[in-house]
Structure 1
Amino acid sequence: MEKKRVLEKVQGCPLKRRKIDQSSSPDKEQTDKIFSGYQVFVLSAGLGKARTDIFNKQLSKQGAEVCQRYNQRVSFVIVDEKMTSERFLKITNISQDDFTSGNAVVVKANWLSTCLSEEKVINTSEFELFIDFRIKDNEKPGKGTVNDTEAKETTKKTFSEVGETKNVAKVGARTKSPKKTKEEVGYDSDDSNYVPSDEDGGEAEMEEAGERSTSNQSTPTTSPTKLPRGNWVCAKPSTSQSVNLNEHITEKLEVLMNAYKNTKDQWRALGYRKAIGALKSHPRAVTTWEEASAIPGIGSRLADKIAEIVQSGHLRKIDHICQGEEAKILDLFNNIWGVGPTVAQGFVQLGYKTLEDVRTKAKLNKQQQIGLSHYYDFLDRMPRDEAAEIGKLVEDATKEFNPNFVCTTCGSFRRGKKTCGDVDVLISHLDGHSHKGILFKLLEKLHSTGFLTDDLIKVEERGEQKKYMGVCRLPGENRK
């Protein structure tokens, strides 16, 4: 049977030779198998397992050879939209020789989503991530990065594809994290499909209590009054569903939720937050518009977005809302611990564009300075066994004062999560009062051993604070 060779080229990627059988239909092959002849590697860091699986499945359907790791025959490396050159090199640990000897093009995931949507391999130029190997050799910090000296002094883990770490230990009588700054309530929006419920009052009250924890006012350790009825987290058994069957959907909606938070559009953010909670607790994976719209708290507009995510693995509104330069800068600044939407917008109005601008030009308070110095570490999550080790260390130190103290590691650890953003430790005593006054003594001890390195909330010796937040470091060589 006669064959003919066809040369194909996509801008930024190598020529690919592919044999086409003249007896078959070229039009049908190009329509049904747009990635035929290409090897593609999807880097899951930042994309999440669910979205990575969707991409790999769609690539295989479209004729691509899906690679589980980078090799020199790879044509495209698909990365998260927020991936940076520095982070890419840190995750893959690829050498310049290996990379340049190959012909791979590193492209953002929205390129792949667009290809799948348009059913053709589109130009990569607008989606390419330039990989700068000078970062590895340059001792000076790049824009938006923490310098090497700070990186050595930091108390956290470096980013890994397996899990992200943030070793912030919180010891006290309450387990709800305080908000970084007080956020203003915006206006209602028809985009949010939000319907007020009795859940909101309780959560708002907890947020206000979290903000007051930075002052010297005390918060009660127990409440003698019965909690009002509602969808309280503490009322749900830890044995209930712990796996989010709709993670590939909720992670996209969370991007929009955070974007609205960054611009102080709190009603929309609240609508998305409630929808995300409903999807996380839904007992089945949502696969159709009808299933999504039937879930309480999700209206037709949100159902449209969910259906789009299910079908394409992407949400175009994210490109519209989050891809502008100002949106990216706001997201960068809002991730500084202690900086909220108002302060972040102030930085933008002053012309700041990078973390280096904030470090050298902005007037920061103590908490913001700590948040900036540990910027990337605070965004990471720690593995469960590391959270358990931190909780055990706090428990051992506490029981040196009184062996009858009860220490419970709460939060995401108690809910059985595989990774934790921080560690919440609740200290109590069976008699209900002997634990009073222990907080300052315990913190003094943990500081003296080098376990606690920074205070995010100041506790006075004769103060009546019941909550503490700080940064910790596990003992030992090269520990985080």
Structure 2
Amino acid sequence: MAPKATKKRSAPSDPDGMFAGMDVFLVEIGVQPRRLQIWKQKLEQMGASIEDRLSKKVTHVFAMNSEALLQQIGRQRLSRFKGSVLLYQWLEGSLSLGEKVSEAPYILTLESGEGSLSNKSFKECGSKASNGYGSSDDETSHHKKIRTSPEDPKTASTKDMDDTVNIAVYEERKTVSSSDDLSPTHSPVNSSPTTPDALTKTVEISDSSLPYSPPDQNHNITEIFGKLVNTYRALGDDRRSFSYYKAIAVIEKLPFKIENMDQVKHLPAIGKSMQDHIQEIVSTGKLSKLEHFETDEKVRTVSLFGEVWGIGPATALKLYDKGHRTLDDLKNEDSLTNAQRLGLKYFDDIKTRIPRHEVQEMEQLLQKAAEEILPEVVVICGGSYRRGKASCGDMDIVITHPDGKSHIGFLRKYVKHLKDIKFLREDLIFSIHSEEDTDAGVDTYFGLCTCPGRELRHRIDLKVYPRDIYAFGLIAWTGNDVLNRRLRLLAESKGYRLDDTGLFPATQSSSSKRGTRAITSLRFKTEREVFDFLGFPWFEPHERNL
């Protein structure tokens, strides 16, 4: 009789990574093959070993639910297991935050098939939870110390600000576009037909069966927090705005409905005051702080004015001080710029979200129109569309050409052609830098467009990048803000400055602790190369809704 084959386990890529010391067994039942492949890859990249069978070496078992767990392993074998048994959401949460999160909310129990709502050990259901990777105050203290905000790629190339001191860039992100990251309803991903990385005719399509679709069992909480995000942003209080923004990303992914604040006290981004807000919402169905804001005339008015494209918090406050109280009042305000007037005129249109199928239709139109002017040009719709959302606040179009030179002067011809076919309707910003090789040679157009056969205006941004920095533009304009912020902070920790035009070695400066950036960026051909260089785990576009 032939000897029994020995099961081999995968060797970890980074023995000092986030998951170092973890020997993992993955329950495959109920998991799509592509998703399972991604999870295995990330675990191995960050220090874990993947076991082919449940052995004494295994410290963690991951499963979709209790039914899958029992079907693949069985109750008897589970009764002898001494490690942690968790839902896959724990892995997703840890990858999203860049460090291990508390295991408590994700412990898999056999009775319910849901994450445990307390620190019960698995032994109560036939096993025992390991405390080797459990929760502690130290696990979340790191998040409380970092006081930063995301940076909008629309202003990143001209405003190089300190995350820990000046976060004014975040306030320029208008409600109509930032609300992309607060949308709980999603549809399958339809990837752009042109691959951004290869920049060839070879199509590399993401798995369309893996949309961004968090459980969002706590919509009552995330909806109220979303309103506070917009309110604080309108008031210029970006630190509080971003605090609620981060909390939403954590809460909407929880696999259980929150019934009391004890269930979330160990979660990252959920501090004491946030816990109190959650307790009030689950107890009363409302939040007194939000009700106060909604009844305060100044807050209500400034928030309304701040939703007009081109009007930031400072301008909104000035308009309020002038005695304006409604959008109709602003129609006779002489100080408004032409772009602000257009934002006011088409206020309702711009606020209307664009269904995914319409964005796809317009992306195809944009690609066809671009090819008519410049063959082989690469046109990608980034933003929430590329991340797989069901609807978008606007369209972020990132463009380049593989030969590294034909992009020069392209945007002028492109904009003219799109106006000739009645797609582009009104201009907001138009700047050309490629011809003079200024501002990293990036050409920019912000404007209003219409879907064929319709008159409803939508916001659209066109950005044309030189080939050698295109990967940075694609990362920045795909988002989301949380991911971009983490990449920037990681770059800074390694002595670099990252924005949508490149990754620059930081130079010493006598006037700034952070120093200034060098003139020349490092060169990378693909987004993945940037992630790898920084040591950040690779996320497909539809995985970047952090």
- TM-score computed with the length of structure 2 as normaliser: 0.44
Displacement of 1:478: 5.7
Aligned-partner Cα distance in 1 for 2:308–2:421: 27
Q: Is the 8 A contact 1:250 1:279 kept in 2?
A: yes
Q: Is the 8 A contact 1:292 1:298 kept in 2?
A: yes
**Do structure 1's residue 449 and structure 2's residue 426 form an aligned pair?**
no
Amino acid at match of 2:314: T
Displacement of 1:389: 1.2
In percent, how many aligned pairs have the same letter? 32
Displacement of 1:433: 4.3
Aligned to 2:41: none
SS across alignment from 2:332:
helix
Q: Following superposition of structure 1 onto structure 2, how do residues 129-168 of structure 1 map, counting pairs within 5 Å?
A: none
Displacement of 1:443: 0.8
Aligned to 1:209: 156
Aligned to 1:325: 297
Q: Following superposition of structure 1 onto structure 2, how do residues 191-202 of structure 1 map, counting pairs within 5 Å?
A: 195-197=144-146, 200=148
Displacement of 1:338: 0.5
SS across alignment from 1:458:
strand
Q: Following superposition of structure 1 onto structure 2, how do residues 409-448 of structure 1 map, counting pairs within 5 Å?
A: 409-448=381-420
**Do structure 1's residue 242 and structure 2's residue 213 form an aligned pair?**
yes
**Do structure 1's residue 381 and structure 2's residue 353 form an aligned pair?**
yes
Displacement of 1:262: 1.9
Aligned-partner Cα distance in 2 for 1:207–1:397: 24
Name the CA shift for 1:329/1:313 in 2 (closer, same or farther; >3 Å): same
Q: Is the 8 A contact 1:262 1:331 kept in 2?
A: yes
Aligned to 2:110: none
Q: Is the 8 A contact 2:380 2:399 kept in 1?
A: yes
Displacement of 1:269: 1.8
Q: Is the 8 A contact 2:235 2:303 kept in 1?
A: no
Aligned-partner Cα distance in 2 for 1:302–1:207: 30
Aligned to 1:466: 443
Q: Is the 8 A contact 1:278 1:297 kept in 2?
A: yes
Name the CA shift for 1:294/1:351 in 2 (closer, same or farther; >3 Å): same
Aligned to 1:366: 338
Q: Is the 8 A contact 1:194 1:271 kept in 2?
A: no
SS across alignment from 1:470:
strand
Segment drifting more, 248-257 vs 401-410: 401-410
Displacement of 1:276: 2.1
Amino acid at match of 2:453: G
SS across alignment from 1:257:
helix
Aligned to 2:138: none
Of residues 237, 252, 257, the one that matches 1:265 is 237
Name the CA shift for 1:237/1:196 in 2 (closer, same or farther; >3 Å): farther
Q: Is the 8 A contact 1:242 1:415 kept in 2?
A: no
Amino acid at match of 2:156: A
SS across alignment from 2:357:
helix
Displacement of 1:212: 5.5
Q: Following superposition of structure 1 onto structure 2, how do residues 78-157 of structure 1 map, counting pairs within 5 Å?
A: none
**Do structure 1's residue 335 and structure 2's residue 335 form an aligned pair?**
no
Aligned-partner Cα distance in 1 for 2:238–2:389: 28
Matched length: 265
Displacement of 1:204: 3.4
Q: Following superposition of structure 1 onto structure 2, how do residues 33-48 of structure 1 map, counting pairs within 5 Å?
A: none
Name the CA shift for 1:194/1:369 in 2 (closer, same or farther; >3 Å): farther
SS across alignment from 2:400:
strand
Name the CA shift for 1:362/1:281 in 2 (closer, same or farther; >3 Å): farther
Q: Is the 8 A contact 2:308 2:347 kept in 1?
A: yes
Amino acid at match of 2:146: S
Aligned-partner Cα distance in 1 for 2:367–2:213: 26
Displacement of 1:312: 3.1
Q: Is the 8 A contact 2:369 2:418 kept in 1?
A: yes
Q: Is the 8 A contact 2:378 2:399 kept in 1?
A: yes
Displacement of 1:403: 3.1
Q: Is the 8 A contact 1:336 1:368 kept in 2?
A: yes
Q: Is the 8 A contact 1:412 1:420 kept in 2?
A: yes
Q: Higher RCO, 1 or 2 (CA under 8 Å, sep at least 6)? A: 1
Amino acid at match of 1:260: Y
Aligned-partner Cα distance in 1 for 2:360–2:320: 39
Of residues 435, 449, 452, the one that matches 1:475 is 452
Q: Deviations over 1:383-409 (max 9, x none)?
A: 111111111111110011233222222
SS across alignment from 1:204:
coil
- TM-score computed with the length of structure 1 as normaliser: 0.50
Q: Is the 8 A contact 1:263 1:341 kept in 2?
A: yes
Displacement of 1:422: 0.8
Name the CA shift for 1:434/1:244 in 2 (closer, same or farther; >3 Å): farther
Amino acid at match of 2:347: Y
Aligned to 1:172: none
**Do structure 1's residue 402 and structure 2's residue 369 form an aligned pair?**
no
Aligned to 2:263: 291
Aligned to 1:51: none
Aligned-partner Cα distance in 1 for 2:406–2:274: 50
Aligned to 2:225: 253
Displacement of 1:195: 2.6
SS across alignment from 2:151:
helix
Name the CA shift for 1:288/1:395 in 2 (closer, same or farther; >3 Å): same
Displacement of 1:447: 1.5
**Any gaps of 5 or more consecutive residues in structure 2?**
1-141, 161-195, 197-205, 458-546
Segment drifting more, 251-260 vs 455-464: 455-464
Q: Is the 8 A contact 1:440 1:459 kept in 2?
A: no
Name the CA shift for 1:426/1:283 in 2 (closer, same or farther; >3 Å): farther
Q: Deviations over 1:340-372 (max 9, x none)?
A: 111111111111111121111342111101101
Displacement of 1:460: 4.2
Aligned to 1:138: none
Aligned-partner Cα distance in 2 for 1:433–1:284: 52
SS across alignment from 2:448:
strand
Runs of 4+ in 1 over 6 A off after TM superposition: none
SS across alignment from 1:457:
strand
Q: Is the 8 A contact 1:194 1:268 kept in 2?
A: no
Segment drifting more, 324-333 vs 262-271: 262-271
Q: Following superposition of structure 1 onto structure 2, how do residues 5-16 of structure 1 map, counting pairs within 5 Å?
A: none
Q: Deviations over 1:307-328 (max 9, x none)?
A: 2223333212111123112221
Aligned-partner Cα distance in 1 for 2:413–2:232: 41
**Any gaps of 5 or more consecutive residues in structure 1?**
1-192, 214-233
Name the CA shift for 1:318/1:430 in 2 (closer, same or farther; >3 Å): same
Amino acid at match of 1:290: D
